[in-house]
Amino acid sequence: MELFLDSAVIAEVEEISSGGVLGGVTTNPTLIRRSGGDFKKTIQRIAELCPGPISAEVNSMDCDGMVSEARELKELLPDNVIIKIPCTAEGLAATTILSKEGIDVNMTLVFSVSQALLSAKAGACYVSPFIGRIDDKGEDGMKLIAEIMQAWNNDSSITCKVLAASIRSLAHVELSARLGAHAATIPTTIFHQMIKHELTDVGIEKFLADWDAVESEGRA
Ligand code: E4P
């Protein structure tokens, strides 16, 4: 499973990409707003830091507007930038046009198998089911990932990758991987949790103490 960072904060992209595990970055208008940076300059910088796909979202809600925004972004920004489009009827029509032009689309705000299937058939390169927002409603977001993967397994013509989004916990990441999601976009705090384990810390402490003992006994 590819590991993407769900952030538009340059310092976070720098930090996480330095570990060498970052497969891509997703942004959205909320994340851009939170970052405090200029939209295009921020995407440009992120695209320089991470070679994988960088999702930049359109803000138009009609097909023509989405298509022209997407073309403009592709013109101005590096090649690894892909276009994030909301899963609406207009978004589907725009995705059909853009995919025929070879412009990669990440279909976002997906909450059902039907929406995921339509996105794939329209030619989206990624489909982003929002796990956490489903959990927030008291339902089971992971169930949607399982159902989409089941539908994908039944249709070998689908090439669209499932990108688990709206991740809120380590369990979301691990279950997405176990269910066969192709990618997960992960907030920085969860990336930090992924590397931590209390037994790793305890183990390091013990090794360091034993190494000190070896040194003090003149055996280093
Ligand atoms: C994905 O591409 C979205 O940016 C993101 O995962 C949304 O997550 P949220 O529900 O935490 O806002």
Task: Give me the pLDDT at residue 172, please.
Answer: 98
Task: Give me the pLDDT at residue 41, please.
Answer: 97
- Does the Cβ of 185 fall within 6 Å of ligand 1? yes
Task: Give me the pLDDT at residue 42, please.
Answer: 98
Domain extent, residue 103, equals 2-219
Task: Give me the pLDDT at residue 147, please.
Answer: 98
Indicate the SS3 state at residue 216. helix
What CATH number corresponds to the domain at position 51? 3.20.20.70
Distance in angstroms (rounded) separating the CA atoms of residues 213 and 197: 25
Structure confidence by residue, pLDDT tens digits, 77-115: 999 999 999 999 999 999 999 999 999 999 999 999 999
Q: What is the pLDDT along the chain (220 residues), one digit of tens a residue?
A: 999 999 999 999 999 999 999 999 999 999 999 999 999 999 999 999 999 999 999 999 999 999 999 999 999 999 999 999 999 999 999 999 999 999 999 999 999 999 999 999 999 999 999 999 999 999 999 999 999 999 999 999 999 999 999 999 999 999 999 999 999 999 999 999 999 999 999 999 999 999 999 999 999 9
**What pTM, to 2 d.p., does this model score?**
0.96
Total domains present in the chain: 1
Catalytic, 40? Answer no
Give nearest CA residue, ligand 1 atom 1: 165
From ligand 1's centre to the CA of 74, what distance in Å?
22
- Does the Cβ of 106 fall within 6 Å of ligand 1? no
Reference 106, options 129, 137, 79, 136; nearest CA is 129
Given the residues 40, 41, 74, 84, select the one marked as catalytic. Answer: 84
Where are the strands (E) in 61-133, listed by range? 81-86, 105-110, 126-129
Structure tokens at 147: 């159902």
- Does the Cβ of 12 fall within 6 Å of ligand 1? no
